[in-house]
């Protein structure tokens, strides 16, 4: 089974450059994961939304890695003047450990600067598209992430339920009082409404393994039902106003169906199998890897 600890660069070294046993470069992993998940609130030497890395390094030196991970997954409430930090339970321990190391490195030799006011010097970092950000999204569990693609398309992927939730057009994510929030001003143009996507889901609880970013910034989520591991990569489609979900299963199945009921009217097409009445049916050779293309109506 593939271990999903990883972020961008690593994907490239592991797969594209066919290096099989190369160790993930922790430093790059830590930096990317910090930028994607923590930088919005934690700066090296400034206490803005959350404490500075200088302060964090004092509380959590290298030997306090376990405590650091513990906090990040289930943050407490310490400073009454600061907001509640959102849990980072969607990140695997190894990624949090890499972030910890990166934070310690960034804090080294720095002292905390005094910010005039807690909020008004703060600007949301300018991000290149696509990006993935931990966000508070309507109609999804608190452990959801927003995927912001090019071409004005954004998606909600729920890492607790291990499923894609919906896609919307127009609005980007916004930072409000330290929380990345999404206000959907328009109805999502695609929203899955079936109780379960996969025919093999049954009563099994899905297990989330993490996500990584490809070199072009597109995310790939990994999760499993029982002994079937699924990887789902999401990217812009070739046509404007569309996106593609690339699925890879860890093993071929005799037969497989996906329930693609939606309470919206997006166009859905598949590169394999039969799509009838919102059900995609795949047989033997086609079940290991296939794509769905979803387009704005």
Query: What residues make contact with ligand HEC under the rule CB under 6 A?
Result: 37-38, 40-42, 49-51, 56, 59-60, 68, 71-72, 77-79, 82-83, 85-86, 88, 91, 99, 178-179
- Nearer Cβ to ligand HEC, position 68 or 157? 68
Whole-number minimum distance, CB 86 to ligand HEC, in Å?
5
- Nearer Cβ to ligand HEC, position 178 or 273? 178
Q: Which phi and psi angles does 247 have, rounded to 5°?
A: -105, 140
Whole-number minimum distance, CB 287 to ligand HEC, in Å?
35
Contact 247, 232 (CB under 8 A): yes
Whole-number minimum distance, CB 15 to ligand HEC, in Å?
25
Q: Which residues, 6 or more positions from 29, have their beta carbon under 8 angstroms from its beta carbon?
A: 5, 6, 7, 9, 10, 95, 98
- Nearer Cβ to ligand HEC, position 56 or 294? 56
Whole-number minimum distance, CB 108 to ligand HEC, in Å?
16
Contact 149, 234 (CB under 8 A): yes
- Nearer Cβ to ligand HEC, position 85 or 270? 85
Whole-number minimum distance, CB 55 to ligand HEC, in Å?
7
Contact 147, 132 (CB under 8 A): yes
- Cβ density class 139-164: b for 16+ within 10 Å, e for less: ebeebbbbbbbeeebbbbbbbebbbb
Contact 268, 277 (CB under 8 A): no
- Nearer Cβ to ligand HEC, position 127 or 272? 127
């Amino acid at each position: 089974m593939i271990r999903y600890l990883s972020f961008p660069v690593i994907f490239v070294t592991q797969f594209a450059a066919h290096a099989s046993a190369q160790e993930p470069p922790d430093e790059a992993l830590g930096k990317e994961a910090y930028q994607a998940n923590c930088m919005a609130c934690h700066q090296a030497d400034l206490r803005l939304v959350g404490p500075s890395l200088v302060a964090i390094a004092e509380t959590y030196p290298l030997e306090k890695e376990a405590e650091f991970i513990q906090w990040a997954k289930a943050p407490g409430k310490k400073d009454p003047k600061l907001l509640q930090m959102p849990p980072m339970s969607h990140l695997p321990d190894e990624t949090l450990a890499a972030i910890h190391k990166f934070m310690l490195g960034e804090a080294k030799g720095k002292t905390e600067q005094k910010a005039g006011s807690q909020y008004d010097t703060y600007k949301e970092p300018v991000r290149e598209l696509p990006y993935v950000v931990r966000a508070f999204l309507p109609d999804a569990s608190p452990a959801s992430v927003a995927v912001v693609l090019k071409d004005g398309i954004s998606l909600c992927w729920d890492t607790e339920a291990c499923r894609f939730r919906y896609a919307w057009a127009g609005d980007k994510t916004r930072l409000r009082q330290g929380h990345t929030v999404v206000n959907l001003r328009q109805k999502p143009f695609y929203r899955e409404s079936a109780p379960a996507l996969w025919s093999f889901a049954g009563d099994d609880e899905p297990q989330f393994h993490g996500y990584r970013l490809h070199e072009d910034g597109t995310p790939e989520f990994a999760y499993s039902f029982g002994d079937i591991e699924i990887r789902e990569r999401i990217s812009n489609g070739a046509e404007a106003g569309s996106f593609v979900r690339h699925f890879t299963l860890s093993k071929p199945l005799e037969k497989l169906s996906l329930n693609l009921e939606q309470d919206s009217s997006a166009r859905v097409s598949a590169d394999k199998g039969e799509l009838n009445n919102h059900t995609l049916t795949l047989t033997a050779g086609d079940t290991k890897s296939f794509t769905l293309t979803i387009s704005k109506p």
